[in-house]
């Protein structure tokens, strides 16, 4: 290996300031056949990639290396040592260079030779003069050396779709500008009918040279370099330029780049550091709305590639782009038999190049059609393609563009974005002839992961998504994908059953039965008939039924419903939502059935329920989609507002403003679960959310299909009587037809999803009873339930209504809709118990395993993480007794070893609780807030000249956040000590109190010196409301007590500070223990304490926070693993501090940056102090223990913990002083 390094070091030293000569230089092809050879080449490339013409990517794939003549002997020795196959490709590089450089000045622009920048620009001006109404010269940007980046715009029609062509971003790739110019020439002059069709039906933005400075340098005969690639901005006295195709602001600097500014893959010192990329990106953004396609030309390799480069994962519309590119490479081959390969950039280049222009276009500017050509040749000439190849290269490249962009392309994109094979499309209704639906039940985690990966690949459409082991998956397979489907089933040994043999037959059955002239429940009806029936009912019952319009759709239709009220008296309200997903026809039909029963039924129970409520009934939330499902595509689910150039619609049940786009969605605008560009981006959801908020009701029922499930928001997991009500409802559903329904939290039966209407209504509007009802059937018909099942579905659903309302109505009337608050009050009056709850420790060995396990247990009743799972890090999970069998089975399936660390949580709680309420302060017990605050007052009285009580802030429930200032003499540097920000961490509060007592009372000389040389600001409990709650209601409560929804209280006060707030390690769910609040400083506790800290910030040089548990000494930052500010000092001080702490009792602490040592956690108090004020000495202790007791450390460990912490603080401040502190540090921002 070292011989290769030496060789390349010598090569690099040969570059001079004169015109570089490559006389006698040779290019060799190497073929690594084993992994060791590949690794050696890759390591060499990292330092000397300038000399790798073709980079090492995979075993048995060609690598090309440039070798100078005086190093040939060393090179041969090295390849002999490596035992690698080698062939000479170019015998003398300079000869090829001479062939490419024009020998005589051209008299006019042609394609017989390569042209200088000036000649190319002159020709662009000439074309603009020749076609003044069509061709316009445009300056898109400028260069470091002051040149213009010049191109042309060809306008055929004002609103024609635009195609952008980029050339010459790498200076040495002369064939790229030449090909771009050839295409420009043909678009204007060709008489070929296909070329004319493509040329005249688009507008064109053509920039042949993105890198004018570099291109000019490759032509410079006095001090240039024909093989120069980069820009020309100096980065050091010896290193010039950045790679312009690594400098774009999408995944910049994430892979396949070099930090060495002399390297050919140096990406610049930041994204858009180069004026070329910065100005061109601004120009492209200015015309972005005119573009639908972007083509970049490079050389060499004969590849037609699809984004992205930074990953080998496929872009959302990869299949569509790949189908088109296959036509392109077929056309490339026809004229000269030039063989191209096609695929994802990251697959074809395993080193994963990042910061590419094409990735920026796809990933930031959302262009749906983006390609990168690597032009001729494959290896014979490399970057030095002779000029006689310009015309053949131009001809075949134009052929490929024509093949890709004529009518067939438009059809393929339009059809494939709907997920339908081109041969199945007719002018009227989409056909699903011979489409099949299969049932799969994954019983191994590998099978589950494969099914989830297939979902992301858009190869198939899921009717029921893969959510867990043993959970049935339903998948729609087009006929042309059947072979591939069967291969996957066979490869992964997945048991599957054919559920629907021919989807079109079922569609025909539902469509043919929908032609009834009168409104009935024997067939499905159009939107017009449903709306007519609503109007008819309002005329028939003018005093009881009122037609209401809740909003309008994108296409201008009304979202029509009715309000049913049987008397003028105030009645509790129920809201019924139907048809938010267009294809779920049984939903509007069932809603209409319920409406008719409420009006016409003579059953006494029905009349009681109907007459004692106000009803807000909207059968179709998605009118445009519903109409489209009748006229164009029976399986359409979204609305009809365009979401991109080729994709229409958003999923209206992912577009609501609660946890929008956090899970269960896709960023692909063509996907069925695309959530829209922002919350309430769709007029349907925006209008209906306003209407919902403006009316009063206590229950909200949303009807969907299919699955036979009665679901409720996960925030209702612990709401009293919900299980009781659900059990009654399930029994009622069985009564008429013995239909089996399941019940539970939404995420128990479907993937975690954000932006649901039911979640919004429950958590934002605060409605106490919310259900998501998945109607018939389980699997036989799916979304295509025959109309003969409308009445049975309606009957049993109405039975459910009667059961629910009879159970709750009396209470609701009695308490005037305050029943839920009353129920919550009952809960609050009870003490939470954790009998037989266990805490279990395990290690997830991979990131995927950790994420999968977290998702499987997230938001499920009975699971609570004490330490969340991360790859190769210890996790601790508290499991309720009723969840233990499920947990053990999951661990068995995932083959994760585990240890039961705490057998019975309640037993530890009992042990940690004081035997009796103590009014005397000591360190043998944990104390209540009142006892602690009284002790602070007592100390102020005992030491009136030293101790002063201070109120730093206040709480949501009106308590003071009380602390003390301890000062032995004026003008001492300040130290702030924070405790109890997390309520359940009692040892934190106790330890802070121990420190305070020691600072005042200890006769140890070192402690006395520490105490008297500083001013101390000590706050034992930052979260008084939460701390009180742990003593009175729930020992394991963590957060504040501010109410965020009907069922969710508090935010994590250590995720609520205004520095890098909510950027990682926090949750947007108000019920989560890491909920960050709805804004920085949304909690009065953090807001008022931040103001107090701000008022004394100039006096502080140290901030110490105490938490538990894990025995860690952490320092900033939590949002990034980057080593910022005075990282080295903090680490060194921390190590010595931990060593001192360990001496007395052998308690070992781990030291490090928060994000590196445990996990990303943003919005913390310590980070805010450090990031805002540059306070140099900032640490967070995670106190005893490492899991034996967890948050429930027995009181007999208070004194030992306090003693070892005092020892550590003495050392900490000694070491800080030795390094010149107190002093402020310069705050360094992470990229």
Residue 209 CA, distance from chain mean position: 35
Q: Which tops the pLDDT comparison, 716 or 866?
A: 866
**How sure is the predictor about 1186, in pLDDT bands with cuts at 50, 70 and 90?**
confident
Q: Look at residues 938, 1046, 946, 922 and name the one whose alpha carbon lies nearest to residue 994.
A: 922
Q: Which tops the pLDDT comparison, 739 or 613?
A: 613
Q: Is 380 a catalytic residue?
A: no
Cα gap 714→718, rounded to integer Å: 9
* 48, pLDDT greater than 90: no
Average pLDDT for residues 4-9, to the nearest whole number?
40
User: Which tens digits make up the pLDDT trace of 143-160?
Assistant: 999 999 999 999 988 878
Place of tokens 């980070």: 1167
Q: Give just the sign of the alpha carbon dihedral 1181, 1186, 1187, 1192.
A: negative
* Gap between the terminal Cα atoms of the chain: 34
User: Which tens digits make up the pLDDT trace of 415-474?
Assistant: 333 333 333 333 357 888 889 999 999 988 888 888 887 776 556 888 888 877 888 899
User: Which tens digits make up the pLDDT trace of 164-187?
Assistant: 999 999 999 999 999 999 999 999
Q: Which tops the pLDDT comparison, 1028 or 717?
A: 1028
Q: Where are the alpha helices (DSSP H) in 114-231?
A: 117-130, 175-189, 193-200, 212-219
Helices (H) and strands (E) in the chain, counts: 39, 36
Long-range contacts of 4-10 (CB under 8 A, 24+ apart): 4/40, 4/44, 4/78, 5/44, 5/47, 5/48, 6/74, 7/71, 7/74, 7/75, 7/78, 8/44, 8/47, 8/48, 8/51, 9/48, 10/70, 10/71, 10/74
User: Which tens digits make up the pLDDT trace of 326-335?
Assistant: 989 999 999 9
Q: What is the pLDDT of residue 180?
A: 98
Q: Output the six-digit token pair for 701.
A: 């029922």
Q: Output the six-digit token pair for 333.
A: 């081959």
Q: What is the pLDDT of residue 998?
A: 97
**How sure is the predictor about 871, in pLDDT bands with cuts at 50, 70 and 90?**
low
Q: Output the six-digit token pair for 235.
A: 């980065």
Q: b or e along 257-296 (b: 16 or more beta carbons within 10 Å of the residue's beta carbon)?
A: bbebbbbbbbbbeebbbbbbbbbbbebbeeebebbbbbbb
Task: Judge if pTM exceeds 0.85.
Answer: no
What is residue 870's DSSP assignment?
B
Q: Is 565:616 a contact under the CB 8 Å cutoff?
A: no
**How sure is the predictor about 408, in pLDDT bands with cuts at 50, 70 and 90?**
very low
Q: Is 438:412 a contact under the CB 8 Å cutoff?
A: no
Q: Is 177:208 a contact under the CB 8 Å cutoff?
A: yes
Of 745-759, 914-928, 1073-1087, the poorest mean pLDDT is in 745-759
- Which H/E stretch holds residue 1118? none
* Whole-number CA gyration radius for the chain: 35
Cα gap 349→372, rounded to integer Å: 13
Report the SS3 class of residue 1087.
helix
Q: Is 598:681 a contact under the CB 8 Å cutoff?
A: no
What are the structural domains of the chain? 19-99 (3.30.70.340), 101-413 (3.40.630.10), 436-501 (3.30.70.340), 510-814 (3.40.630.10), 838-912 (3.30.70.340), 952-1116+1173-1219 (3.40.630.10)
Q: How many CB atoms lie within 10 A of CB 944?
A: 9
φ, ψ for residue 777, nearest 5 deg: -110, -160
Q: Look at residues 299, 285, 238, 296 and name the one whose alpha carbon lies nearest to residue 266.
A: 238
* 827, pLDDT greater than 50: no
Cα gap 466→472, rounded to integer Å: 7
Average pLDDT for residues 932-940, to the nearest whole number?
96
Q: Look at residues 354, 242, 350, 358 and name the one whose alpha carbon lies nearest to residue 293.
A: 358
Cα gap 391→338, rounded to integer Å: 13
Of 268-277, 866-875, 1063-1072, the poorest mean pLDDT is in 866-875
User: Which one from 1182, 1203, 1215, 1229 is the annotated catalytic residue?
Assistant: 1182
Counting Cα atoms < 13 Å in the Cβ hemisphere of 549 gives 9
Q: Look at residues 89, 32, 100, 21 and name the one whose alpha carbon lies nearest to residue 60.
A: 32
Mean pLDDT, the chain, rounded, equals 85
Cα gap 1103→491, rounded to integer Å: 57
Q: Look at residues 482, 619, 611, 474 and name the one whose alpha carbon lies nearest to residue 558.
A: 619
Average pLDDT for residues 534-563, to the nearest whole number?
96
Average pLDDT for residues 99-112, to the nearest whole number?
73
Average pLDDT for residues 1141-1170, to the nearest whole number?
91
Q: Where are the alpha helices (DSSP H) in 337-417?
A: 345-348, 357-363, 390-405, 407-416
Q: What is the pLDDT of residue 752?
A: 64
Q: Output the six-digit token pair for 823.
A: 């129920």
* Secondary structure of 1000-1054 as H, E, C letters: HHCCCHHHHHHHHCCEEEEECCCCHHHHHHHHHCCCCCCCCCCECCCCCECCCCC
Q: What is the pLDDT of residue 18?
A: 53
**How sure is the predictor about 1037, in pLDDT bands with cuts at 50, 70 and 90?**
very high
């Amino acid at each position: 290996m070292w011989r290769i390094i030496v060789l390349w070091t010598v090569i690099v030293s040969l570059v001079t300031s004169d015109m570089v000569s490559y006389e006698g230089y040779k290019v060799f092809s190497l073929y690594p056949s084993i992994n060791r050879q590949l690794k050696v080449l890759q390591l060499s490339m990292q330092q000397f990639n300038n000399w790798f013409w073709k980079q090492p990517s995979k075993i048995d794939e060609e690598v090309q290396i440039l070798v100078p003549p005086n190093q040939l002997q060393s090179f041969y020795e090295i390849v002999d040592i490596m035992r690698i196959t080698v062939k000479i490709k170019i015998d003398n590089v300079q000869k090829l260079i001479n062939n490419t450089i024009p020998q005589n000045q051209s008299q006019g622009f042609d394609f017989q030779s390569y042209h200088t920048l000036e000649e190319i620009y002159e020709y662009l001006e000439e074309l603009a003069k020749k076609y003044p109404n069509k061709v316009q010269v445009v300056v898109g940007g400028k260069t470091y050396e002051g040149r213009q980046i010049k191109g042309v715009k060809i306008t055929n029609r004002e609103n024609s779709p635009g195609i952008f062509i980029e050339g010459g971003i790498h200076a040495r790739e002369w064939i790229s500008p030449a090909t771009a110019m050839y295409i420009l020439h043909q678009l204007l002059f060709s008489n070929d009918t296909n070329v004319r069709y493509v040329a005249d039906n688009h507008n064109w933005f053509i920039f042949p040279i993105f890198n004018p400075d570099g291109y000019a340098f490759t032509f410079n005969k006095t001090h240039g370099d024909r093989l120069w690639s980069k820009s020309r901005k100096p980065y050091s006295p010896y290193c010039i330029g950045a790679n312009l195709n690594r400098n774009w602001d999408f995944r910049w600097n994430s892979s396949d780049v070099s930090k060495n500014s002399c390297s050919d893959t140096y990406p610049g010192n930041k994204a858009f550091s180069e004026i070329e990329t910065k100005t061109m990106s601004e120009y492209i953004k200015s015309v972005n709305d005119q573009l639908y396609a972007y083509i970049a030309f490079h050389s060499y390799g004969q590849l037609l590639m699809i984004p992205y480069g930074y990953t080998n994962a496929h872009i959302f519309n990869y299949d569509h782009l790949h189908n088109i590119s296959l036509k392109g490479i077929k056309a490339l081959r026809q004229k000269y038999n030039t063989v191209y390969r096609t695929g994802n950039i990251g697959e074809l280049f395993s080193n994963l190049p990042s910061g590419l222009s094409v990735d920026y276009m796809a990933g930031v500017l959302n262009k749906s059609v983006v390609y990168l050509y690597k032009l001729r040749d494959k290896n014979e000439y490399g970057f030095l393609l002779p000029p006689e190849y310009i015309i053949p290269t131009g001809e075949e490249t134009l052929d490929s563009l024509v093949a890709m962009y004529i009518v067939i392309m438009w059809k393929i994109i339009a059809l494939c974005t709907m997920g339908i094979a081109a041969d199945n499309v007719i002018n009227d209704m989409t056909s699903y002839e011979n489409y099949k639906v299969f049932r799969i039940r994954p019983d191994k985690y590998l099978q589950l992961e494969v099914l989830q990966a297939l979902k992301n690949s858009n190869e198939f459409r899921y009717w029921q998504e893969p959510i867990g082991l043993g959970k049935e998956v339903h998948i729609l397979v087009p006929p042309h994908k059947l072979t591939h489907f069967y291969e996957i089933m066979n490869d992964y040994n997945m048991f599957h059953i054919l559920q629907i043999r021919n989807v079109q037959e079922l569609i025909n059955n539902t469509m043919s039965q929908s032609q009834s002239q009168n409104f009935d429940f024997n067939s499905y009806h159009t939107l017009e008939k449903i709306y007519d029936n609503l109007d008819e009912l309002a005329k028939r019952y003018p005093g009881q039924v009122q037609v209401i319009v809740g909003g309008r759709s994108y296409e201008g239709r009304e979202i029509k419903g009715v309000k049913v009220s049987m008397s003028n008296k105030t009645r509790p309200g129920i809201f019924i939502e139907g048809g938010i997903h267009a294809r779920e026809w049984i939903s509007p039909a069932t809603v209409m059935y319920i409406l008719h029963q409420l009006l016409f039924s003579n059953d006494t129970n029905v009349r009681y329920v109907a007459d004692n409520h106000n009803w807000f009934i909207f059968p179709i939330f998605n009118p445009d989609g519903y109409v489209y499902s009748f006229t164009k595509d029976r399986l359409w689910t979204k609305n009809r507002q365009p979401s991109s150039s080729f994709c229409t619609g958003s999923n209206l049940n992912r577009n609501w403003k609660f946890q929008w786009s956090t899970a269960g969605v896709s960023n692909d605008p063509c996907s069925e679960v695309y959530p829209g560009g922002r919350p309430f981006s769709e007029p349907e959801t925006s209008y209906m959310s306003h209407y919902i908020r403006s009316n009063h009701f206590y229950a909200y029922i949303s009807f969907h299909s299919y699955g036979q499930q009665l679901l409720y928001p996960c925030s209702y997991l612990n709401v009293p009587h919900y299980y009781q009500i659900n059990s009654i409802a399930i029994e009622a559903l069985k009564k008429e037809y013995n239909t089996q329904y399941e019940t539970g939290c939404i995420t128990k039966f479907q993937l975690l999803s954000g932006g649901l209407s039911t979640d919004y209504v429950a958590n934002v509007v605060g409605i106490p009873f919310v259900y998501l009802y998945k109607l018939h059937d389980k699997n036989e018909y799916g979304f295509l339930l025959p109309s003969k099942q409308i009445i049975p579905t309606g009957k049993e659903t109405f039975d459910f209504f009667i059961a629910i309302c009879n159970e709750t109505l009396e209470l609701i009337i009695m308490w005037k809709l305050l029943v839920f608050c009353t129920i919550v009050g009952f809960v609050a009056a009870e003490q939470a118990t954790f009998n037989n709850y266990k805490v279990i420790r395990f290690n997830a060995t991979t990131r995927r395993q950790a994420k999968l396990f977290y998702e499987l247990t997230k938001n499920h009743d009975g699971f609570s993480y004490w330490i969340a799972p991360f790859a190769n890090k210890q996790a601790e999970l508290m499991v309720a007794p009723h969840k233990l069998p499920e947990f053990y089975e999951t661990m068995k399936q995932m083959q994760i070893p585990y240890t039961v660390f705490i057998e019975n949580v309640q037993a530890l709680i009992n042990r940690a609780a004081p035997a009796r309420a103590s009014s005397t302060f000591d360190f043998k017990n944990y104390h209540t807030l009142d006892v602690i605050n009284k002790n602070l007052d007592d100390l102020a009285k005992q030491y009136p000249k030293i101790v002063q009580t201070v109120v730093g802030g206040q709480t949501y429930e009106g308590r003071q956040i009380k602390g003390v200032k301890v000062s032995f003499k004026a003008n001492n540097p300040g130290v702030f000590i924070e405790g109890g920000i997390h309520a359940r961490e009692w040892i934190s509060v106790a330890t802070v109190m121990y420190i305070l007592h020691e600072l005042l009372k200890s006769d140890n000389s070192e402690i006395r010196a520490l105490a008297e040389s500083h001013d101390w600001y000590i706050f034992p409990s930052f979260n008084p409301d939460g701390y009180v709650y742990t003593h009175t209601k729930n020992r394991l409560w963590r957060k504040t007590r501010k109410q965020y929804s009907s069922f969710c209280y508090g935010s994590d006060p250590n995720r609520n500070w205004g520095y890098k707030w909510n950027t990682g390690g926090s949750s947007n769910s108000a019920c989560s223990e890491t909920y960050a609040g709805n804004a920085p400083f949304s909690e009065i506790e953090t807001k008022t304490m931040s103001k107090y800290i701000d008022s004394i910030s100039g006096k502080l040089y140290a901030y110490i926070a105490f938490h538990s548990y894990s025995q860690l000494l952490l320092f900033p930052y939590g949002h990034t693993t980057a080593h910022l500010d005075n990282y080295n000092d903090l680490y060194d001080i921390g190590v010595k501090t931990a060593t001192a702490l360990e001496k007395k009792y052998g308690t070992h602490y781990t030291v490090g940056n928060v994000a590196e040592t445990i996990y990303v956690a943003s919005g913390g108090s310590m980070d805010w102090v450090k990031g805002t004020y540059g306070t140099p000495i900032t640490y967070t202790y995670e106190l005893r223990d490492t899991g034996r007791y967890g948050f429930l450390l027995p009181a007999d460990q208070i004194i030992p913990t306090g003693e070892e912490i005092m020892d550590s603080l003495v050392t900490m401040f000694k070491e800080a002083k030795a390094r010149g502190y107190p002093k402020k540090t310069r705050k360094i921002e992470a990229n």
